[in-house]
Structure 1
Amino acid sequence: MTTVVVVALVAVATGIVIVVTDPFGGRTKNTSTESTASTGLAQVTKGTLSARTQENGTLGYGGDYQVVNKASGTVTRLPNVGDVVGQGKALYLVDGKPVILLQGGVPAYRDLDWGTEGADVRQLNATLVALGYATKDEIAPGSDYFGRQTYNALKELQDDVGLGETGRLPLGQAVFVPAKEIRITKVTAVRGGSAAPGAAVLQASSTQRQVAVLLNASQQSDVKVGDKVTISLPTGRTTPGVVSSVGKVATKRDSKTTVDVYVTPSKPEETGQLDQAPVLVSIISETVEDVLSVPVNALLAMAGGGYAVEVVEAAGAHRLIPVTTGLFDTSVGKVEVTGDGLTAGQNIVVPAS
């Protein structure tokens, strides 16, 4: 009695299933003549494959800072949306006097003068050194004491921005934000209006390019900080990036539950100046090197379970080689495979395109 082996050809990329019967059991056969499906040839290749997660993202700038005014008087000058202001420069004017932008995570909340100590003094000292008004020998890194060198350095800064050289920093003369320079995104104060202490004046971001991705919460474990990324820009070009942050708190948005993932472009100059631009992000979550691979649609699902590929020998004979699958690279439509007798360069049968 003749044994019939049924082999299903699974075209994973297209969802097509083709059934091939082998009335000759384990004998070498020419499947191209027995199958009613049109076929072609591909090759077993050796190289690098990557597992990728493709997501929609939004290209913009990192950071979201709200500047709160502490001065009293009338707002006489404001920056424009899109302006970039660096630390040590006038951010806006109250009664014609500059309010200086300084770097630091502690908001201004008191006058700073000779003899004061604390985290706010530490960030003032660090900024004065960073701006070149004092050296590290003059103000030790991490110093939280307002001494003679702080006094002298602050007088130089005040002179450069057009303020009276008092050597003290009264509340309202400066605002601290945790960035060396900021990009204005929204102005809430009105020129000529009252500069009420405690009122928001403007909002800003950093000048660092960033892509925000709303990742499905179920995929959080597939992505980690440091994963390499390919960003597809609205211009049609691509540029590399790296995952810089993966959220740990899930948020329900519409019908999806997502976590925030942030990507830092490796070549920010290639991203242009578009803000809030839609991009496609391909996150490389795993990479294997020096492995054999075949097109995904070359896989044959065997009747007893598992997969095989149909190899075409140099003389034209066809034979099935059982394979074990590994990593799938959806970006190139290939899958990692291992199997006895499988080598790079062999011709294999695939559905005709």
Structure 2
Amino acid sequence: MRGRAMADRDTRDSRDVLAESEQAGTEGDTERRAHPRRRLAIGIVAVAVLAVLGGGAAVVVPALAQPPAEESAPRVHTATGVVSRGDIAEQVRTGGKLGYGNSRALGSALPGTVTSVPAVGTVIGRGEELFRIDDQPVVLLFGALPAWRGFEAGMSNGRDVRQLEENLRDLGFFQREPDEEFTWWTAEAIRNWQKARGLPRTGELPLGSFMFGPAAVRVKSVDTGPGSPSGGAVLTVTDTGKQITIDLDADLASVAAKDTKVQASLPDGTIIDATVTSVGAPSEKEGEDGKKTMKVPLVLTPDDPAAGGDVIDVTVSASFTRILATGVLRVPVLALLAGPDGTTQVEVVDGKKSRLVTITTGTFGDGLVEVVKVVDGKLDEGDEVVVAQ
């Protein structure tokens, strides 16, 4: 968003500027005085600040300029800034939530009674116990193919057999090349694994005694406690890595392409560096005010997995950078002066003297403004201009 409103300079200040310029000579040079010239306060939104609302919505909040200086007001302190060439950008801030991603429920097809469950926050890896039914463990194995049948001698070939053998190999119990055939070697690997876990050495795995999943899981909640019948969801689990989820206004989607670097701020002020890892399709969502707007779902992954420590399920403020103009001549917004007849000027420093240059401005952002055209005078990259402090 670009704020471009400039407060009008009072008539007396305009006459002062013109009088000083004429007194300096035909070249417009004026000797720089020990005290700074009176400068006009600029009512410009130098940076579009997006305020965070619930659900990731954002609104533009204009930055407030100082009121015009009165004749009797204290003098304006000045410094210098540099004319540069580069991009004009603005910061887009929106709300999100830090948590563990991909929440889902886990249960078992085994009939019986739930006899043991893990504590919330437990991380369960390959070959480890999820919970127990009739005191028999239900274990987690890795793989993309869901479990749809048990494993036993004489079963037909299939990709699930290869997936099982890959797990047995990675657990250290299968020494051959995994394939899709259930052989004596497969049964023997199961028996050795069962022995290592203190279980009966059957060489078989009935459906419901194991689950396939893509990776380790973290227990988010226990949905069925010990003593309850099995059959429904026993645990709710998530991935083990933290992520930030955001529903971004669709008209701001250009700031959040995949692999974009983002900074997120926790409630205690901690800054987390993150990367956009997923950009979903726009969809209509209802806000707190009951109105429906188009949102783009984003997933951000912290660059440091340990970022935020134990803080979880909290609202964060994410900051994106949007490029508004590329490779343009730029001056600090606080260098702008109101010139005669509604023109805009900057005061360029030439050694101990200074001169006024009339310009046409373009895009505003991040405390800088684009110089579209130099109307009167000369302005180059590297020049120093007077700025208000």
Shorter chain as denominator, the TM-score bin is 0.7 to 0.9
Whole-Å separation in 2 of the counterparts to 1:132 and 1:309: 74
Match of 1:347 in 2: 384
Secondary structure of the structure 1 residue equivalent to 2:306 = helix
> Are 1:68 and 2:112 an aligned pair?
no
Aligned residue identity for 1:99: V
Structure with larger RCO (C-alpha < 8 A, sep 6+) = 1
Aligned residue identity for 1:124: L
Secondary structure of the structure 1 residue equivalent to 2:105 = strand
Whole-Å separation in 2 of the counterparts to 1:84 and 1:287: 44
TM-score by length of 1: 0.79
Whole-Å separation in 2 of the counterparts to 1:235 and 1:97: 44
Secondary structure of the structure 2 residue equivalent to 1:317 = strand
Match of 1:193 among 217, 228, 243: 228
> Are 1:156 and 2:189 an aligned pair?
no
Residue 226 (structure 1) shift: 0.3
Secondary structure of the structure 1 residue equivalent to 2:276 = strand
Secondary structure of the structure 1 residue equivalent to 2:297 = strand
| Stretch moving more, 15-24 or 240-249 | 15-24
Instruction: Deviation per CA, 1:28-79: give whole Å up to 9, x if none.
Output: 2669646564362231166986654221111111221211211111111011
Match of 2:201 in 1: 165
Match of 1:130 in 2: 170
Secondary structure of the structure 2 residue equivalent to 1:125 = helix
Distance 1:44 1:35, change over 3 A: closer
> Are 1:58 and 2:97 an aligned pair?
yes
Residue 185 (structure 1) shift: 0.9
Aligned residue pairs, count: 330
Residue 80 (structure 1) shift: 1.8
Match of 2:268 in 1: 235
Whole-Å separation in 2 of the counterparts to 1:18 and 1:334: 20
> Are 1:218 and 2:256 an aligned pair?
no
Distance 1:237 1:45, change over 3 A: farther
Match of 1:84 in 2: 123
Distance 1:341 1:227, change over 3 A: same
Whole-Å separation in 2 of the counterparts to 1:160 and 1:177: 22
Residue 307 (structure 1) shift: 6.5
Distance 1:34 1:242, change over 3 A: closer
Whole-Å separation in 1 of the counterparts to 2:162 and 2:106: 20
Secondary structure of the structure 2 residue equivalent to 1:204 = strand
Instruction: Deviation per CA, 1:298-322: give whole Å up to 9, x if none.
Output: 3458889996543222122222163
Aligned residue identity for 2:165: N
Alignment of 1:9-88 (within 5 A): 12=3, 17-19=7-9, 21=14, 23=18, 28=28, 33=37, 35=39, 37=69, 38=76, 40-44=78-82, 51-88=90-127
Distance 1:64 1:34, change over 3 A: closer
Whole-Å separation in 2 of the counterparts to 1:34 and 1:337: 23
Mark the runs of 5 or more structure 1 residues left unpaired by the alignment.
1-10
Whole-Å separation in 2 of the counterparts to 1:266 and 1:188: 32
Residue 158 (structure 1) shift: 2.3
Whole-Å separation in 2 of the counterparts to 1:113 and 1:301: 86
Match of 2:281 among 248, 254, 264: 248
Aligned residue identity for 1:319: L
RMSD: 3.5
TM-score by length of 2: 0.72
Secondary structure of the structure 2 residue equivalent to 1:127 = helix
Distance 1:298 1:341, change over 3 A: closer
| Stretch moving more, 39-48 or 199-208 | 39-48
Alignment of 1:90-101 (within 5 A): 90-101=129-140
